[in-house]
Amino acid sequence: MRFRIHKSIPLVHDLLIIVLAIYLGSFMYSRYSSYFELGDITDDLMVGYFLIVATSLLAMSELDLYKYQVILTKLRHAIALQKALFLSLVALVFFSFMFKTVDVSSSRVLLGLIYVNLSILFLITRVTIIPALFFKLVNDKIINRNLLIVGSGRLSSDHAEELIENRNSYFNIVGIADDEESDLNDHVNGIPVLGNVSNLHQMVEMYNVNDILVASDTRCDDRLHEIIDKCKASNKTIHIVSELYNIATEKIQIEEIGKVSAFRYVPPQVGHKIVYPFIKRVVDISLSLIILIGLLPVWILIGTLIKLTSKGPVFYKPVAIGQGGRPFIMYKFRSMRVNVSTNLHKEKVRKMIKQNDATKKIVNDPRITPLGRFLRKCSIDEFPQLINVLNGEMSLVGPRPCLPYEYEVMKEWQKQRCDIKPGMTGIWQIRGRDEVLFNQQVVLDLYYKEHCSVWMDLQILFSTIPVVIFGRGGA
């Protein structure tokens, strides 16, 4: 039986529980209300029921409730379930309001009964029964994943030992691929050394590898990403453990392989490629229009103050690098005096990228106007980028847009952050801002690139609000 059983069983279970909760909630409501009969199901009510099923399953998928790391951790499992049900409820009310599907959402009692039943049934069955069933399937070797470890040092050896000792792990270690031209023994901790990473493709095919764990001790970032790119070419799930990627484990709750925290790369799936970009674009346009129109008097006031306090235009329009390395005109409120040299900033940024320094702002920058200092402190100068969002050149959430002179000195692996649209805010802005090194910024951007979802975007957007209000990391 294939590995997918550990996802199909919870999915079938969830579908049955949701249908049962809808029936029980409707039955209870029919006893409570003299205007509702259990058999009186209108077309609009059926649409409402369908939305409950669809939004619940989508929310659970978004919150990783089909990943074994979540399933096996009771507290994390229970919290994620409640978040998913809340997200489903919000989505249901939104769809009901937008498309006038009101039969379910208009009755608070019916809706409350359905979601209370959902919460209770899920806590009873999903948090207790599903993990027990999963443990049995793992112990009986019905759920099994062939794992290849890439690395030749202490890191790969230690993690191999931890996986072997972890009784709950469904990974079967098929061997180790040497990441250097070193003379390894035939076996490490009883695990066969299959050869050099240059022969990775043959190893994956020969041993039917499902997952690859990159546990490399190399301190050369270029070499590490050369190995990672080779692993990506295999189109398998990759788990990365290295000093460079430790920033992800410090700043984000990330995946575990066994009991080892790891940066996870999953080959993109067709459904995610289509559904997520569509939802993201709808959210981008909707929120951008709301903010631009709703706060129009504020933008007019800021524009007037800029004109009154310093000479020059209201907007600063530099060329920035967008998705795929394509340039575009980026809009910002002007915070600097006109006709001032940018050489100081260019030199500082180039040095920061080349030497992997933190992104510290220039202290007491003489180019910035007094009003501009306030605008930058609260990131208000960046709000005109909403125009770029509406134009499709940027997104609300994504990697920070870089300038051409920054892009020129980046290494190829660092340029991967430009594979997706740049954003007005992102993970490193809320998890460190000017406290992280440049390479760590890139790793956090790459994490977002590989794991972006509707739920992650919403979390980042809400987390950005206090950062803007209190001006943390602004200049």
| pLDDT (mean) for 421-448 | 83
Amino acid at site 427:
I
Predicted pLDDT of residue 435: 67
Predicted pLDDT of residue 2: 42
CA end-to-end span of the chain: 57
Token duo for residue 201: 């493709």
Which of 112-116, 135-139, 275-279 is the most confident on average?
Answer: 112-116
Sign, CA dihedral 106-108-113-114, equals positive
Could you tell me where the beta strands, DSSP code E, fall in 297-401?
A: 315-316, 319-321, 327-329, 332-333, 395-397
Residues ≥6 apart with Cβ < 8 Å to 34: none
Residues ≥6 apart with Cβ < 8 Å to 267: 232, 235, 236, 237
Predicted pLDDT of residue 255: 63
Q: Are 22 and 114 in contact (CB under 8 A)?
A: yes
Give the pLDDT confidence of 286-308 residue by residue, as tens digits. 999 999 999 999 999 999 999 99
| Mean of the per-residue pLDDT values of the chain | 84
CA angle 154, 178, 174 (to 5 degrees): 90
What is the pTM (predicted TM-score) of this model? Answer: 0.75
Q: How confident is the model at residue 1 (pLDDT cuts 50, 70, 90)?
A: very low
Q: Which of 98-107, 133-142, 296-305 has the lowest mean pLDDT?
A: 98-107
Pairwise CA distance, residues 143 & 138, whole Å: 5
Which of 68-82, 130-144, 174-188, 460-474 is the most confident on average?
Answer: 68-82
Higher pLDDT, 251 or 199: 199
Q: How confident is the model at residue 18 (pLDDT cuts 50, 70, 90)?
A: very high
Which of 89-93, 164-168, 431-435 is the most confident on average?
Answer: 89-93
Pairwise CA distance, residues 34 & 3, whole Å: 49
pLDDT at 43 over 70: yes
Predicted pLDDT of residue 258: 63
Pairwise CA distance, residues 384 & 417, whole Å: 22
Q: Which of 47-56, 314-323, 459-468 has the lowest mean pLDDT?
A: 459-468
Which of 2-11, 73-82, 153-162 is the most confident on average?
Answer: 73-82
Residues ≥6 apart with Cβ < 8 Å to 79: none
Token duo for residue 39: 């058999």
| pLDDT (mean) for 258-266 | 75
Closest CA to 153 of 176, 137, 175: 176
Q: Are 6 and 134 in contact (CB under 8 A)?
A: yes
Closest CA to 68 of 124, 125, 6: 6
